Structure 1
Amino acid sequence: MSVLSQNTTTDLGERLRDAYAVTAEFMADIVSQACRRFPSVGQAGKSARVERLIQSGAWTDAAIALLDLELPQWQIRRLVYDEGEWHCALSRQRELPDWLDQSIETRHADLALAILAGFVEAQRISAPGSRGSVPTVRRGVSSSYEPVLVDNFG
């Protein structure tokens, strides 16, 4: 499959947020747009398992199996149901404390869609063309932010 472009994953992320439930057609779109290894020749057993789960309508299991096949370095760190939504956190290093880990957090009313939204975001971050040689810095500084110089020479 081709390497993900920024626009494709953004569109897919919006579709995931707006979806009410997973369907076989929607899962086929996710696989065709976000998966680079599916079907995997080297891991035919995992590919066949994903196909069986999709055919049987086991969307949550299919989402987890797809994550395992496509992004084995990413793992589910946390799944929580709170106030009508599933909160899913994916991480590369689950053993690190929350405050040290750079996890991906998504939420949706449907469990499979929450996991798939995290999968698509992890796939976007992991895409070879998405990372430059210089780390990026968040630009979301609030307007009430004022730098303060505090020196303690004492």
Structure 2
Amino acid sequence: MSSPFDQLKKAAQAVVGAPHVFNAARSAGASSSAAADVMAASAAAIQVASSHSDGTPGMQNAIRHFVWQAYIAGRHGVAVAEAVAAAHEEGRDTPHDTRVDLHNNAVGREYGAAHSADVGQGSLPDALGRLAVVAKQKWAADELIWVKDR
């Protein structure tokens, strides 16, 4: 499991990146309310991933990226999800982590697009919770990845 400091650091990154995420969603065609939902999903995905992880290295990050992108693609379309993911990774200087994130984002987007009817049902927390279950299955099947050497 990540430490409280690591969780705080990730939450701070989400807050700092929020305008960037919002603007990327809007530029990709999302309405203001849809872009706000994307921001809410971005923040909530951190907590959902934390509560569905067992401390295995890389698991929380993989679940977070899968859930986040599956939700956005399923509710707001692949173009919005891709734009937001690109904005999130922009300017990062961690190529190993970025490669992992891009892979897990793509798996999430593909799932979200293919299951948009299910992803579109219920509240944000309910949808993210259902997606976390799928993410854990994909993690167990080695469809989601992490890089040991960072």
Give the structure-1-normalised TM-score.
Answer: 0.30
**Structure with the greater alpha carbon radius of gyration:** 1
Q: Relative contact order (C-alpha < 8 Å, sep 6+): which is higher?
A: 2
Give the structure-2-normalised TM-score.
Answer: 0.30
Structure with higher strand content: 1
Structure with higher helix content: 2
